[in-house]
């Protein structure tokens, strides 16, 4: 192989195993001619799904070329496909979207009418996901040597799942993956040894799961070479769990017995083989480190051999970078992949780069990718000007431009708008690399929740009904994702106007009810995070003085905003604005209890 790509030159200097060479060669192959891989993928998808009800509608008549596909098949959103998805979920087994049977639905964290979106998936998709996973360590090994000499402490969890009325499982993609034989019966690989046993990962009680995973991580602290979770928020939750539970964990270690809070039989059984004897020295060490006020650098104190954190800190997760830096003493953060319930997309070929420089290379074999040039006039304007012929192919995107990702999958999504905005930063061989810019329409996000402007508006409306009789109104509001505390929570700033035009007085009791009413109005992913996962704290409303939002406008105008076009930002994060708002707060109120949530869908 000629040495002319950065990956290949690294391969030459690193000691690369045969398995890694194979994976790296595959990446080279895929990225050298992404256009022909894409043509092949589309041909395969259209050929195998030509008899589906969906594709038959567009009279492709067996033609599988891109030009015909682009001219006949419309670009769609989830709402457009909802009738088909509903029929499949109700049990219609005819080939509606896919000729291969839909084996389950993956519940996306994106929502439709307040409920999680259901993404169809087929059996073989598991192989595609696993293929992408299998590329991660070979790339990492080029940058960090010796990862086979120790273990990874990864906090991995399954979430609750349900069945659709037609009997198909509906669960998050990672729950589906961890419960599959692909994960459970994975062959031994020295580069992928985890401290967490499968029994702990697969326990659906997140508290027992976390306890057991943390305990194993502590017992094996010198072996841990990398530490991670899927998203940054998950890793911070683990740190917070340690803050709250280190005494109990240290007690287990000092006595060599497992806490009675662990009652899951599979975990108990497995832990009896891991926690076999008391370790007084380790227990004392932990008490010494954890009882200190200052937790700065705690990760490297407890796990001194950690070379990097493996967490996604791009997109909405970037808000956690400073906190992670604080706890880890500035360890590198590797963002290794970019994926979704609809399809896995790509990998980061320079995983040790700074978070701000992360670009993902889309693997052209995963699905058929198109790119809708993104209009900067705002999402609404882009929506109005959707020109289906303007979509660009993977190989033809231009550096510096932004696009919305549109995919066609083996499982039957055709020209489906994922909702992610990506910017092209460069190329690896001939494959473009993308920086994740943002999720369209998402205002607030703490973890996997995504709250849009319409949802926030509805929640404010519903809550303000609680004092409408009093003649008081919310005249302006904005919001903020507070992530300095763990778990993070939503903060909503309200400016109120009473009947007599003054700042209205609403009782603490009613304000607390307003907080809860807002939570009840938010989507099911938010409520699940609050109720089942405890990954979001109680919603807070901060009432600000009258005139605060006018000051906000003055500030924006002083910085060049047009007075005619000024709109109140419905979400803020810019420090001077936060400081202005916080300096005007007259009272703060929290949700007093949990909103309703159950794994079953509302409709």
Question: Per CB under 6 A, does 335 bind ligand AMP?
Answer: yes
For residues 341 and 361, which CB has a smaller minimum distance to ligand AMP in the complex? Answer: 341
Site string for ligand AMP, 341-360 (x = CB under 6 A): x-------------------
Cα separation of 46 and 63, whole Å? 8
For residues 104 and 420, which CB has a smaller minimum distance to ligand AMP in the complex? Answer: 420
Peptide bond between residue 275 and the one before it cis (omega within 30 degrees of 0): no
Q: How far is the CB of 424 from ligand AMP (least distance, A)?
A: 16
Cα separation of 133 and 311, whole Å? 14
User: Which residue is closest to ligand AMP by CB?
Assistant: 315
- Which of 340, 343, 409, 445 is close enough to bind ligand AMP by CB under 6 A? 340
Query: Count of CB atoms within 10 A of residue 462's CB?
Result: 15
Question: Per CB under 6 A, does 109 bind ligand AMP?
Answer: yes
For residues 34 and 315, which CB has a smaller minimum distance to ligand AMP in the complex? Answer: 315
For residues 80 and 248, which CB has a smaller minimum distance to ligand AMP in the complex? Answer: 80
- Contacting ligand AMP within 421-460 (CB under 6 A): 436, 439, 448
Question: Per CB under 6 A, does 420 bind ligand AMP?
Answer: yes
Cα separation of 147 and 141, whole Å? 7
Question: Per CB under 6 A, does 111 bind ligand AMP?
Answer: no
Residue 20 half-sphere exposure, CB side, CA atoms within 13 Å? 24
Cα separation of 26 and 20, whole Å? 10
Residue 422 CB partners (closer than 8 Å, separation 6+): 371, 402, 403, 404, 405, 434, 435, 436, 437
Question: Per CB under 6 A, does 411 bind ligand AMP?
Answer: no
Cα separation of 527 and 602, whole Å? 12
- Which of 120, 315, 351, 595 is close enough to bind ligand AMP by CB under 6 A? 315
| Window of 108-116, 197-205, 246-254, 505-513 that interacts with ligand AMP by CB under 6 A | 108-116
Q: How far is the CB of 399 from ligand AMP (least distance, A)?
A: 20
For residues 88 and 418, which CB has a smaller minimum distance to ligand AMP in the complex? Answer: 418
Sheet of strand 333-334: strand arrangement: 151-155, 224-231, 308-312, 333-334
Handedness of CA 217, 222, 223, 224 (dihedral sign): positive
- Which of 38, 49, 89, 108 is close enough to bind ligand AMP by CB under 6 A? 108
Burial class (CB in 10 A: 0-12, 13-18, 19+), 14: middle
3-state secondary structure 279-313: CHHHHHHHHHHHCCCCCCCHHHHHCCCCCEEEEEC
Question: Per CB under 6 A, does 314 bind ligand AMP?
Answer: yes
Question: Per CB under 6 A, does 418 bind ligand AMP?
Answer: yes
Give how many residues touch ligand AMP by CB under 6 A: 17
Q: How far is the CB of 316 from ligand AMP (least distance, A)?
A: 7
Alpha helices in 49-161 (DSSP H): 53-56, 66-72, 78-89, 125-143
Question: Per CB under 6 A, does 528 bind ligand AMP?
Answer: no
């Amino acid at each position: 192989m000629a040495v002319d790509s950065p990956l290949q030159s690294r391969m030459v200097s690193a000691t690369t195993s045969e398995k890694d060479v194979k994976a790296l060669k595959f990446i080279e192959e895929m990225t050298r001619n992404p256009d022909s891989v894409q043509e092949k993928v589309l041909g395969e998808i259209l050929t195998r799904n030509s008899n589906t009800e969906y594709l038959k509608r567009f009279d492709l008549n067996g033609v599988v070329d891109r030009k015909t596909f682009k001219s006949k098949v419309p670009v769609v959103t989830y709402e457009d496909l909802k009738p088909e998805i509903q029929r499949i979920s109700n049990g219609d087994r005819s080939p509606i979207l896919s000729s291969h049977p839909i084996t389950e639905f993956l519940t996306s964290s994106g929502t439709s009418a307040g409920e999680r979106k259901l993404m169809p998936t087929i059996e073989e998709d598991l192989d595609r996901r696993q293929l992408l996973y299998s590329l991660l360590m070979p790339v990492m090994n080029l940058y960090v040597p010796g990862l086979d000499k120790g273990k990874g402490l990864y906090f991995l969890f399954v979430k609750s799942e349900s069945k659709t009325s037609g009997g198909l499982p509906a669960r998050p993609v990672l729950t589906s993956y961890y419960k599959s034989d692909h994960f459970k019966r994975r062959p031994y690989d020295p580069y992928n040894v985890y401290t967490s046993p499968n029994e702990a990962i697969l326990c659906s009680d997140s508290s027992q799961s976390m306890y057991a995973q943390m305990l194993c991580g502590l017992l094996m602290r010198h072996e841990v070479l990398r530490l991670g979770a899927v998203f940054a928020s998950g890793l911070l939750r683990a740190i917070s769990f340690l803050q709250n539970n280190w005494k109990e964990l240290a007690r287990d270690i000092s006595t060599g017995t497992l806490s009675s809070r662990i009652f899951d039989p599979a975990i108990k059984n497995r832990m009896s083989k891991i926690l076999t004897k008391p370790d007084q020295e380790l227990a004392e060490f932990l008490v010494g480190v954890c009882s200190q006020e200052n937790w700065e650098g705690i990760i490297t104190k407890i796990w001194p051999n950690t070379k990097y954190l493996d967490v996604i800190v791009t997109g909405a997760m970037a808000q956690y970078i400073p906190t992670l830096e604080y706890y880890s003493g500035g360890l590198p953060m590797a963002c290794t992949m970019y994926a979704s319930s609809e399809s896995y997309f790509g990998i980061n070929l320079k995983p040790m780069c700074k978070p701000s420089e992360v670009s993902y290379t889309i693997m052209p074999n995963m699905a058929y990718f198109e790119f809708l040039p993104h209009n900067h006039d705002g999402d609404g304007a882009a929506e109005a000007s959707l020109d289906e012929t303007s979509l660009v192919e993977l190989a033809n995107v231009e550096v510096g431009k932004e696009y919305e990702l549109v995919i066609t999958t083996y499982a039957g999504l055709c020209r489906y708008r994922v909702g992610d905005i990506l910017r092209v930063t460069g190329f690896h061989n001939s494959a473009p690399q993308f920086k994740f810019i943002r999720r369209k329409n998402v205002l607030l996000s703490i973890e996997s929740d995504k709250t849009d402007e319409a949802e926030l508006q509805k929640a404010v409306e519903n809550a303000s009904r609680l004092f409408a009789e009093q003649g008081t109104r919310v005249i302006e509001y904005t919001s903020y994702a507070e992530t300095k505390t763990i778990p993070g929570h939503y903060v909503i700033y309200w400016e109120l106007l009473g009947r007599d035009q003054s700042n209205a007085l609403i009782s603490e009791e009613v304000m607390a009810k307003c907080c809860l009413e807002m939570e009840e109005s938010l989507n099911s992913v938010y409520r699940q995070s609050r109720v089942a996962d405890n990954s979001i704290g109680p919603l807070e409303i901060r009432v600000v003085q009258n005139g605060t939002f006018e000051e906000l406008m003055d500030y924006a105008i002083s910085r060049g905003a047009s007075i005619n076009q000024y709109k109140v930002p419905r979400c803020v994060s810019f420090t001077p604005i936060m400081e202005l708002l916080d300096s005007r707060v007259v009272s703060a109120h929290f949700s007093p209890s949990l909103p309703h949530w159950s794994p079953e869908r509302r409709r």
